[in-house]
Amino acid sequence: DAGITQSPRHKVTETGTPVTLRCHQTENHRYMYWYRQDPGHGLRLIHYSYGVKDTDKGEVSDGYSVSRSKTEDFLLTLESATSSQTSVYFCAISESILSGGAYEQYFGPGTRLTVT
């Protein structure tokens, strides 16, 4: 998994509680991404980061926030979890196309989150 770890790997939580998922990389890649994957929708981008403290919203960012205080760590927080946020969450990393880096993304193993 290209030096990407996610924690926790599985989590069950109750509606209304805050949840934080962690992504850690050892590749020193500039870009980091959080996706959710749901049947029929494929991978949908939640937030991404293009450097330390530089983040931007993706397609499905409502109800989620992110932080990146170090190159290697990207945190995803569900501020008040809802059942609609039950999903598999994937972190990914990539380098910059414009800097001549690789354009492929490398994915972590995923976190299965269930909100009851």
Partner 1 sequence: QKEVEQDPGPLSVPEGAIVSLNCTYSNSAFQYFMWYRQYSRKGPELLMYTYSSGNKEDGRFTAQVDKSSKYISLFIRDSQPSDSATYLCAMIDYGQNFVFGPGTRLSVLP
Q: How far is the CB of 16 from partner 1 (least distance, A)?
A: 28
How far is the C-alpha of 71 from the C-alpha of 99, rounded, in Å? Answer: 17
Of 80 and 112, which CB lies nearer to partner 1 in the complex structure? 112
**Beta strand 54-57 pairing with 42-51:** antiparallel
Of 15 and 37, which CB lies nearer to partner 1 in the complex structure? 37
Structure tokens at 67: 């932080």
Q: How far is the CB of 108 from partner 1 (least distance, A)?
A: 6
Nearest alpha-carbon partner for 84 in 53, 54, 115: 115
Which residues make up the interface to partner 1 (CB under 8 A)? 1, 31, 33, 35, 40-45, 48, 50, 90, 92, 94, 96-98, 103-110
